[in-house]
């Protein structure tokens, strides 16, 4: 099903060979896969860009949110202090920080 949306484009991100558009729609920032677009037309009017928008920070937060959504099982792992320091380098940093906070 095709859906027409008017987007305010803020930036493009290439992740694992896939292009994503970070855009504002209805006062919310969202991410869209470019390969799912069937057509694009420029709007008649320009939009006013939010100067406080930080694309790298936005993408990092959304990527971490997505990664956490994939994890469905909770486990308990006991590690040494040295292991705890290395945990952030073994996978998802946000998940490691969250796990160490518990």
Residues 50-96: tens digit of each pLDDT: 999 999 999 999 988 887 788 667 778 888 989 888 887 877 777 77
- The answer on 57 and 9 residing in a single domain is yes
Angle among Cα 70, 75, 81 to the nearest 5 degrees reads 110
Q: Percent of the chain beyond pLDDT 70?
A: 96
Q: Under a CB-based contact definition with an 8 Å cutoff, are residues 10 and 20 in contact?
A: no
- The answer on 96 and 53 residing in a single domain is no
Q: Under a CB-based contact definition with an 8 Å cutoff, are residues 79 and 87 in contact?
A: yes
Q: Which domain holds residue 9?
A: 1-70
- The answer on 66 and 79 residing in a single domain is no
- The answer on 22 and 38 residing in a single domain is yes
User: Which residues pair with residue 66 across a beta bridge?
Assistant: none
* Three-class SS state of 4: coil
């Amino acid at each position: 099903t095709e859906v027409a949306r008017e987007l305010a484009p803020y930036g493009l991100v290439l992740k694992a060979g896939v292009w994503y558009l970070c855009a504002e729609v209805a006062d919310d920032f969202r991410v869209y896969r470019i390969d799912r677009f069937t057509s694009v037309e420029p709007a008649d009017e320009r939009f006013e860009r939010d100067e406080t928008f930080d694309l790298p920070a936005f993408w990092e937060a959304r990527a971490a949110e997505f990664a956490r959504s994939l994890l469905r099982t909770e486990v308990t792992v006991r590690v040494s202090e040295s292991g705890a320091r290395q945990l952030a380098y073994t996978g998802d940093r946000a998940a490691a920080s969250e796990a160490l906070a518990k």
